[in-house]
Amino acid sequence: MLMAELANASILAELTLEEKVGLTSGLDFWRTKPVENQKVPSIQVSDGPHGLRKPLEGGDALGLSGSVPATCFPPAVGLAASWNPELARRVGAAVGQEARAQAISVVLGPGVNIKRSPLCGRNFEYFSEDPCQSALMATGWIKGAQAQGVGASVKHFAVNNQETDRLRISADVDDRTLREIYLAAFEYIIKEAAPLTVMSSYNKINGTYASENHWLLTEVLRDEWGFDGVVVSDWGAVNDRVAAVAAGLDLKMPAPTGDEDVVAAVKAGLLPEAIIDQAADRILTLVARTTNNLPPSNPIDADAHQQLAREVAAECAVLLKNEANTLPLDPAAGSIAIIGELARTPRYQGAGSSKVNPTAVEDALTAIRADIPDIPFAPGYNLDDSQDPQMLAQARELAGDADRVVLFLGLPDSHESEGFDRSDMSLPAVQLQVLKAVVAANPNVTVVLSNGSLVSMEWRDTVPAILESWLLGQAGGQAIADLLFGRSNPSGRMTETIPLDLKDNPSYLNFPGEHQHVLYGERIFVGYRFYDTTAIPVAYPFGHGLSYTDFMYSGLTVEKRDQGADVSFTVTNSGDRAGAEVAQVYVRDIECSVSRPIHELKGFAKTFLEKGESQRITISLDERAFSFWSTQDQQWRIEAGDFEIRVGASSRDLRLTQVITHEGDGVVQVLNAMSVVGEWLEHPVGGPALSDELKAVTGTETPFDTKSGIGRMIAGTPLIKIGGFIPGLDPSRVNELVALVNKSDQE
Ligand code: BGC
């Protein structure tokens, strides 16, 4: 036994059943219970993760009355668009330091739910429509935070992809889609980043609440993935306390209700006491991990964190469009007008439990005025979406008088939040009116967008430049000014696809469900996996983002290694200024027995290059990069055959490709009497055995051609059924063949 286990065991031995059960629910809204006489302290958790949200001392339980000031970094929607896991690590470290300074032991994040629909009200808290992108970014953040001695809580486990009816909805998803899309980021993170806690979600999965789901919390999370931390419920997610404990939920948050039900269940012999011991033991381990032998906690350097927030923000914005080098703006090349209330009143984070009380907020207008003090400004619209003809007229006039316009548009707070979903992707009508009027007065318009989830872009052809700046945290204003004037070079990339129309989104017909069920009918074809497979036109593809410089790709080599491969190539900055490229590696399974997306992201690297500089990049793919989840075999499978490695600047801008042959995982299909003849003939033992058999009963060497005509029909027929067509192959003989093949499988 390790020292920690010994210590826990001796503490637990001294506790009554009631005290042990007590450890598995919160002391209050944010704290665990102490064990006074054993010197086990209470620890406090706090929301995040783009900044700390520690409720004020003496404030209300929910923290609605405010929280301690903290640096507000870009929320996940922005951070993810940087495609820079190292930057995410630095943000995690900064948030971790602020948490340590406030005696917070666990920060409740990051959220890694997949952006299934652009309408999800919490998309601003999530990373991507792709599990690989989400996993690598979140891993960076978690490693950074946990290196400070603070635990992370990866959430919301699992399949929490909408806010509508979030406390009751059942996400009805097939097992392959669960594994490949909705659990994949969690799996990677558990194995690579070892978060100290996992937060179970509010919703049901296929009819069972996540917090009461033994398959999810114990069989998959612990037994398969090896998670050894604490599973904490989302706040108020537990409905049946006994079922939750039995499923593997260690800490029910927030308040200590339901303990008596658990005690009664143990006393009635309905719940083994060993399960309580296990959960209590994990809580003690969490307390020890976040209080003993911690790295030193350094004083917070607020200026350094502000500077980091600015640096991060500049990497998050995505330059969607830049015709005729509209950007960067040269102040000397004519007059510029700034239009749009969001330039003056920035929207820099989302609403709900993650809302941070920022230490300082920079708005773009003030930052731009540091460059051009007398730059004219008109608000154009109100953030409450009300019409104001005077404001509209003023914006039109200002636009007409200037040589160039920078127009700030976006989603006001009321449009997106935790707790509800949007019903459409449009910008507010009042803002679209301003856009139309401004463009009519002056077509030289750069649109700067602020939004936490996708907005539709039916207007994109009317303007020459679009900078999608998401929600950029408290230092976003300065970052936007730096990007507009070219002091920073845009290097953000899309982490989701912008469809031409909401109706094109694959979840469209099944979002947000009805009667407390939402069917994930699009299965694995989420985001670009759908758009690219069907080659449907989109506004901007996954991975897209422009720069003020250009990049060239060359020299692709793919070296196979075990079941994976090392993909190497060179990226060159061929333009006239320094910049960063996000090189993306996609894998295409050229032929497979199950339907697969045309390609899937399996790795990426962000590289910073001086003008003219080249860098050789190697991205290692493991066996999972080639696998699919086999529902039939209930395991990950790689089928032998050709795979195309695709390297490029977006899912639709692939610059280099190479086909490699994978020898497969060697797993042989288990045959039975209902296996079709084609499956039999492909089997290493069943194939020759059946060929011999067919030769014997028909007397011909090649009884039929499985590729055409009647032979093809037979190939698709279960062996047991062909006895009627091929005399001699009666059911008893088929069963003998099955026994023969299975015997050889076992040997
Ligand atoms: C949210 C969580 C959050 C928790 C505590 C819940 O409503 O879903 O993300 O961590 O509240 O504030």
CATH number at residue 407: 3.40.50.1700
Asked if residue 369 and residue 324 are part of one domain, the reply reads yes
User: Would you say residue 545 lies in a domain?
Assistant: no
Segments in 471-614 forming alpha helices (H) = 476-484, 528-531
Q: Are 371 and 484 in contact (CB under 8 A)?
A: no
Question: Following DSSP, what letter does each residue of 489-526 receive, concatenated?
Answer: ------SS-EESSGGGSTTGGGSS-BTTEEE-TTTT--
pLDDT at 2: 63
Asked if residue 590 and residue 644 are part of one domain, the reply reads yes
The parent domain of residue 575 ranges over: 551-662
User: Would you say residue 657 lies in a domain?
Assistant: yes
Asked if residue 272 and residue 234 are part of one domain, the reply reads yes
CA–centroid distance, 186 to ligand 1, in Å, is 18
CA–centroid distance, 509 to ligand 1, in Å, is 28
CA–centroid distance, 171 to ligand 1, in Å, is 19
Strand partners, 358: 70
Q: Are 80 and 495 in contact (CB under 8 A)?
A: yes
User: Would you say residue 295 lies in a domain?
Assistant: no
Which residues have CB under 6 Å of ligand 1? 47, 108, 155, 234-235, 353
Q: Which atom of ligand 1 is nearest to the CA of 201?
A: 8
H/E stretch holding 618: strand 614-621
User: Would you say residue 230 lies in a domain?
Assistant: yes
Cα separation of 625 and 636, whole Å?
11
Of all protein residues, whose CA lies closest to atom 5 belonging to ligand 1?
A: 235
Asked if residue 225 and residue 86 are part of one domain, the reply reads yes
Q: What are phi and psi of 429, to 5 degrees?
A: -55, -40
Asked if residue 521 and residue 437 are part of one domain, the reply reads yes
Asked if residue 562 and residue 655 are part of one domain, the reply reads yes
- Our mutation pick for probing the ligand 1 site, out of 112, 157, 197, 235, counting the most ligand atoms within 8 A of Cβ, is 235
Look at residues 289, 321, 355 and tell me which one is the last residue of a structural domain: 289
Q: Which atom of ligand 1 is nearest to the CA of 109?
A: 10
Of all protein residues, whose CA lies closest to atom 8 belonging to ligand 1?
A: 234
Look up residue 441 and give its two tokens. Answer: 């007065």
Cα separation of 305 and 311, whole Å?
10
What's the number of CA atoms in the CB half-sphere (13 Å) around residue 425? Answer: 22
Assign residue 647 the CATH number of its domain.
2.60.40.10
Of all protein residues, whose CA lies closest to atom 7 belonging to ligand 1?
A: 235
User: Would you say residue 192 lies in a domain?
Assistant: yes
User: Would you say residue 106 lies in a domain?
Assistant: yes
CA–centroid distance, 121 to ligand 1, in Å, is 14
pTM over 0.85: yes
Q: Are 508 and 111 in contact (CB under 8 A)?
A: no
pLDDT at 502: 98
Look up residue 620 and give its two tokens. Answer: 């290692």
Of all protein residues, whose CA lies closest to atom 11 belonging to ligand 1?
A: 235
Number of domains comprising the chain = 4
User: Would you say residue 667 lies in a domain?
Assistant: no
pLDDT at 607: 98
CA–centroid distance, 166 to ligand 1, in Å, is 12
Q: What are phi and psi of 261, to 5 degrees?
A: -65, -40
Say how many residues make up the chain: 747
Of all protein residues, whose CA lies closest to atom 2 belonging to ligand 1?
A: 234
Cα separation of 530 and 599, whole Å?
10
Sign, Cα dihedral of 113, 115, 116, 122: positive
Cα separation of 254 and 252, whole Å?
6
Q: Which atom of ligand 1 is nearest to the CA of 254?
A: 5
Look at residues 486, 514, 538 and tell me which one is the last residue of a structural domain: 538
Indicate the SS3 state at residue 284: helix
Q: Which atom of ligand 1 is nearest to the CA of 202?
A: 8
Amino acid at 472: L
For the chain, which residues score pLDDT lower than 50? none
Asked if residue 522 and residue 459 are part of one domain, the reply reads yes
User: Would you say residue 300 lies in a domain?
Assistant: no
Strands (E), 139-274: 151-157, 170-172, 197-200, 204-205, 208-209, 230-233
CA–centroid distance, 352 to ligand 1, in Å, is 8
- Our mutation pick for probing the ligand 1 site, out of 29, 162, 353, 418, counting the most ligand atoms within 8 A of Cβ, is 353
CA–centroid distance, 153 to ligand 1, in Å, is 11
Look at residues 289, 318, 333 and tell me which one is the last residue of a structural domain: 289
Assign residue 44 the CATH number of its domain.
3.20.20.300
The Cβ of residue 381 has, within 10 Å, a number of other Cβ atoms equal to: 28
User: Are β-strands 653-662 and 204-205 bridged in parallel, bridged antiparallel, or unpaired?
Assistant: unpaired
pLDDT at 744: 66
- Our mutation pick for probing the ligand 1 site, out of 44, 62, 108, counting the most ligand atoms within 8 A of Cβ, is 108
Q: Which atom of ligand 1 is nearest to the CA of 155?
A: 9
pLDDT at 722: 84
pLDDT at 747: 60
| Cβ partners under 8 Å of residue 743, min gap 6 | none
Of all protein residues, whose CA lies closest to atom 9 belonging to ligand 1?
A: 353
Asked if residue 555 and residue 504 are part of one domain, the reply reads no
Residues acting as catalytic residues? 234
CA–centroid distance, 353 to ligand 1, in Å, is 5
Q: Which atom of ligand 1 is nearest to the CA of 47?
A: 10
What's the number of CA atoms in the CB half-sphere (13 Å) around residue 354? Answer: 31
Asked if residue 610 and residue 635 are part of one domain, the reply reads yes
CA–centroid distance, 236 to ligand 1, in Å, is 9
Asked if residue 428 and residue 284 are part of one domain, the reply reads no
CA–centroid distance, 597 to ligand 1, in Å, is 33
Asked if residue 682 and residue 658 are part of one domain, the reply reads no
Of all protein residues, whose CA lies closest to atom 4 belonging to ligand 1?
A: 235
Cα separation of 70 and 417, whole Å?
20
Asked if residue 705 and residue 571 are part of one domain, the reply reads no
